[in-house]
C-alpha cells in the first residue's frame, strides 16, 4: 500500500475546478486513512453548496487509483459538517490570495 505522503502527492495533482489550485494547497483534504487494501479520504467543500463536488470526488478517486495497487478499494467523500476557512490553505496560497 502507498504511504500517506504518496497519496497526498497524488491528491496534490487534483485542481479545484473553480479556483484552479491544488485541493491539497487549498486545505480541502481533511483526512487520509490507509487500511488493509483500502484508502478512505475525506474532503471539505469550500461551501455548503459546492457545485463541483462530484467532479472533485471523481478526480480525487482517479488520482488515488493511479497511486494505489490494482484492486485497492478507494472511497472519497465530503464532510459537509466541517466548515472550510482560508486558514486551511497553505501559507503560500494565503499570501497570494491576501489572507
Q: How many CB atoms lie within 10 A of CB 92?
A: 10
The set of cell numbers assigned to 4 is 500517506
pLDDT at 42 over 90: yes
Please tell me the predicted confidence (pLDDT) of residue 50.
82
Asked if residue 47 has pLDDT above 90, the reply is no
How long is the chain?
99
Strand order in the sheet with 73-78: 29-35, 38-43, 73-78
Query: Between β-strands 29-35 and 73-78, what pairing exists: parallel, antiparallel or unpaired?
Result: unpaired
DSSP H or E run through 59: helix 53-67
* Residue 74 in domain: yes
Q: Establish if 94 belongs to a structural domain.
A: no
Residue corresponding to grid cell 469550500: 46
What total number of domains does the chain contain?
1
**pTM, 2 dp:** 0.93
Domain coverage including residue 9: 4-83
Question: Mean per-residue pLDDT for 13-30?
Answer: 96
**Residue 99: inside a domain:** no
- The verdict on residue 33 lying in a domain is yes
CATH number assigned to the domain comprising residue 73 = 3.30.300.130
Is pLDDT at 51 greater than 90 in this prediction? no
Query: Looking at the domain assignment, is residue 42 inside a domain?
Result: yes
Amino acid at each position: 500500500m502507498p504511504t500517506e505522503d504518496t497519496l497526498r502527492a497524488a491528491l496534490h495533482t487534483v485542481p479545484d475546478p473553480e479556483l484552479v489550485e491544488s485541493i491539497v494547497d487549498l486545505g480541502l483534504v481533511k483526512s487520509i486513512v490507509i487500511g488493509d487494501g483500502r484508502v478512505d479520504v475525506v474532503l471539505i467543500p469550500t461551501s455548503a453548496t459546492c457545485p463541483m463536488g462530484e467532479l472533485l470526488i471523481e478526480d480525487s478517486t482517479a488520482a488515488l487509483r493511479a497511486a494505489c495497487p490494482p484492486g485497492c478499494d478507494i472511497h472519497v467523500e465530503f464532510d459537509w459538517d466541517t466548515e472550510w476557512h482560508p486558514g486551511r490553505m497553505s501559507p503560500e496560497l494565503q499570501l497570494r490570495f491576501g489572507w
